[in-house]
Amino acid sequence: MAIFWRLLLSHLLADFTLQFDIVNKMKRKNVWGMALHCLTHLVTAVALTYPHLREVWFTLGPIGFNGWAALAVMLAAHFLVDELRIYSMKRMGYPDGTIGFLADQVMHVYVLFMIAPIARPGVGFFMPERWVGIAAMSVLVAHVTTVLIYFIEKDLYGTGFPRFDEKYFLIFERVVLWSFFFTSGWLWLPFAAAWTVQIFYIRRKRILDLSLANIYLSLGLTSAAGLWTRYIYFGHL
């Protein structure tokens, strides 16, 4: 599943890290903004899968699709899924909330899974190339979690997107907690525990006005990604 994991990393980078606020607004306004967003996905995917683009990734009946053709399918599917989401919000009145966000992401990842080659025998699905897996988890911790928490808090409390300082402070908090999982042995446990305590201290002192949902989601998602990263890095927990 090496190609799938590279495609997943390219998706996370293009849909979160490289989807700046101006691009997000442009894609909601017109088709050219959407085309720019999808082009970012294509360029990122090509860059990460370039050594495999001439290989056959999947077959449809007697027709074999190499990497270039598979990425063309990905490009078209991503455009249609995103346009459908925007249409459902603008024309059908569906809220731009957590359910829509998660459904959108599930469909994108499903397309990547369908166009990627089948795993070779003896290669575990949960063991991607080390650098690819770690990079994917870092984006998940830093940027995907930011957006997911935003949607959940928006649905629960009606809050807006976090301010610049709050956004990057919380990214810093999560990345530091995630980094403790690279510590050998069981030393990561006291470090992670101490860091968790200081997050609650920050809330108690109102250095930042953080909701409990924000804290628990940040800790839970970061810990889950940290354990998976640890498994990828060391081969065990």
Q: Quick one: pLDDT band at residue 124, thresholds 50, 70, 90?
A: low
Question: Which of 38-52, 98-112, 162-176 bottoms out in mean pLDDT, i.e. has the lowest?
Answer: 162-176
Per-residue model confidence (pLDDT) at position 202: 83
Q: What is the mean pLDDT of residues 202-208?
A: 78
Q: In angstroms, what is the C-alpha Rg of the chain? A: 19
Q: Residue 58 is encoded by which pair of tokens? A: 């999947």
Q: What is the mean pLDDT of residues 156-185?
A: 90
Question: Which of 8-22, 78-92, 158-172, 201-215 bottoms out in mean pLDDT, i.e. has the lowest?
Answer: 201-215
pLDDT in tens, 190-200: 989 999 998 88
Residue 161 sits at φ, ψ, to 5 deg, of: -65, 140
pLDDT in tens, 209-229: 888 999 999 999 999 999 999
Per-residue model confidence (pLDDT) at position 38: 96
- Is the model's pLDDT at 136 over the cut of 90? yes
Residues linked to residue 63 through DSSP beta bridges, in sequence order:
60
- Is the model's pLDDT at 90 over the cut of 90? no
C-beta of residue 82 within 8 angstroms of C-beta of residue 38: yes
Q: How much is the pTM?
A: 0.92
Per-residue model confidence (pLDDT) at position 153: 94
C-beta of residue 230 within 8 angstroms of C-beta of residue 181: yes
Q: What is the mean pLDDT of residues 178-207?
A: 88
Provide CB contacts within 8 A for 230, sequence distance 6+.
Answer: 181, 182, 188, 237
Per-residue model confidence (pLDDT) at position 163: 83
- Is the model's pLDDT at 131 over the cut of 70? yes
Q: Quick one: pLDDT band at residue 118, thresholds 50, 70, 90?
A: confident
Q: Quick one: pLDDT band at residue 119, thresholds 50, 70, 90?
A: low
- Is the model's pLDDT at 64 over the cut of 90? yes
Task: Express as a percent the part of the chain with pLDDT over 90.
Answer: 67
The one-letter code for the residue type at 10 is S
- Is the model's pLDDT at 5 over the cut of 90? yes
- Is the model's pLDDT at 121 over the cut of 60? no
What mean pLDDT is reported for the chain? 91
C-beta of residue 156 within 8 angstroms of C-beta of residue 213: yes
Q: What is the mean pLDDT of residues 34-55?
A: 96
